[in-house]
Structure 1
Amino acid sequence: MRKAIILVVVAGLFFWAVYDFVIQSNQEAEADVGTNVDDQAPDFELTTLTGKTEKLSDYRGEPVMINFWASWCGPCRSEMPAMQNMYEQNDINILAVNLTTQETKRQDIPDFVDEFQLTFPVLLDVEGKTGSAYQIGSIPTSYFVNSDGIISYKHTGPLNEEQIMQQFEKMK
């Protein structure tokens, strides 16, 4: 009888330790997601102008630049040629997230894309959830996410080609 009680107590302690470890590991993993440098970038799934679905997690294993913008934003307009040139001339990933809820007219988005002849994915944040998850206050705001899905750099304001390339070089 005494052996049975000891066995039950030991088994209970073992299962409690395993349960506690699993719960603690899950909480630590969730706590690491955020919008600061060295945080796990929040995943998102958005649709392009052509109806294709893009997920940030699909780019795991490759560095990616996430750029938040709107068509009426002057600084956003000034950085788009640099982004397009870098995308065409280098093997880099750019996801341009349009803050669709901030647009005056939805037609402004494809007009903007045509004007700048953008060929990288332009994603529509129709509900504003991705902009909120990334705590976008000012635009343009760009996040550089390394191949492990970790934010390596955040920049508010327009970027030039040299700045974009510099961040991709750091993520190699």
Structure 2
Amino acid sequence: MKKRRLLIRTTILAVLLIALCYTLYANFFTSKETVAAGKKAPDFVLQDLQGEKHRLSDYRGRGVFLNFWGTYCKPCEREMPAMQRQYEKYKEQGVDILAVNVDETNFAVRQFVKEYGLTFPVMIDKGSQVQNVYGIDQLPATYLIDKNGSVVDVFLGGLDESKIKEYMDEIKP
């Protein structure tokens, strides 16, 4: 009986040890694929706060300023008013902003959008699926996508208004 218990305990311990080793290997020794300049932007479909679906590929022919953000992120908070001002100037010139919130509640995101008067599409990435496809680890993250759907540039961190304007000019069709 004691030998049997020892065998069961040893087996359980071995399985746990293997799971731990695999987790450490997967997190620290495998590279996370990220979307970089020169690559095609992975397509996705997300719903905005009004329930309208937005598919990235539907924006072909226009420049897309794709911004991943969170309400808790101070640099995100600082860049949103500047993004709104530039959106108002560039939307008629063929440049759109798609703001993808990373897995927060509808209530928190609605309050944020209302507070800053955002009029560009704001979507919530439930489960962080799109964030994972793009390989994003830090916020904010901005992807500049040209009219053909290719990533022109990637910027990690907060942007000031002059840089946003420069990027909008860069992706203007």
TM-score range, shorter chain: 0.7 to 0.9
Match of 1:167 in 2: 167
Q: Which amino acid aligns with 1:112?
A: F
Deviation at 1:169, TM superposition (A): 1.9
Deviation at 1:90, TM superposition (A): 2.2
Deviation at 1:115, TM superposition (A): 0.5
Q: Deviations over 1:38-72 (max 9, x none)?
A: 00000000000110000000001111000000111
Match of 1:139 in 2: 139
What do you get for the CA RMSD once the two structures are aligned?
Answer: 1.5
Match of 1:26 in 2: none
Give 3-state SS (helix, strand or coil) of 2:119's partner: coil
Paired with 1:79 and 1:138, the residues of 2 have a C-alpha distance of 15
Contact 2:98 2:122 in 1 (8 A): yes
Residues 1:94 and 2:93 are matched in the alignment = no
Paired with 2:153 and 2:128, the residues of 1 have a C-alpha distance of 22
Match of 2:66 in 1: 66
Paired with 2:161 and 2:90, the residues of 1 have a C-alpha distance of 11
Contact 2:106 2:124 in 1 (8 A): no
Match of 1:124 in 2: 124
Paired with 1:168 and 1:86, the residues of 2 have a C-alpha distance of 8
Q: 1:104-119 to 2 correspondence within 5 Å?
A: 105-119=105-119
Deviation at 1:34, TM superposition (A): 6.0
Paired with 1:116 and 1:54, the residues of 2 have a C-alpha distance of 21
Q: Which amino acid aligns with 1:97?
A: V
Q: Which runs of 5+ in 2 are unaligned?
A: 1-32
Q: Which amino acid aligns with 1:111?
A: Q
Paired with 2:69 and 2:125, the residues of 1 have a C-alpha distance of 10
Paired with 2:52 and 2:159, the residues of 1 have a C-alpha distance of 27
* Runs ≥4 residues deviating over 4 A: none
Q: Which runs of 5+ in 1 are unaligned?
A: 1-32
Paired with 2:74 and 2:118, the residues of 1 have a C-alpha distance of 16
Question: Given the two structures, how large is their TM-score scaled by the length of structure 2?
Answer: 0.75
Residues 1:84 and 2:84 are matched in the alignment = yes
Paired with 2:121 and 2:153, the residues of 1 have a C-alpha distance of 20
Q: Deviations over 1:126-152 (max 9, x none)?
A: 121100011110000000000010000
Match of 1:55 in 2: 55
Deviation at 1:170, TM superposition (A): 2.2
Contact 2:62 2:147 in 1 (8 A): yes
- Identity score, percent: 38
Question: Given the two structures, how large is their TM-score scaled by the length of structure 1?
Answer: 0.76
Paired with 1:106 and 1:53, the residues of 2 have a C-alpha distance of 15
Contact 2:87 2:96 in 1 (8 A): yes
Question: How many correspondences in the alignment?
Answer: 137
Match of 2:156 in 1: 156
Match of 1:12 in 2: none
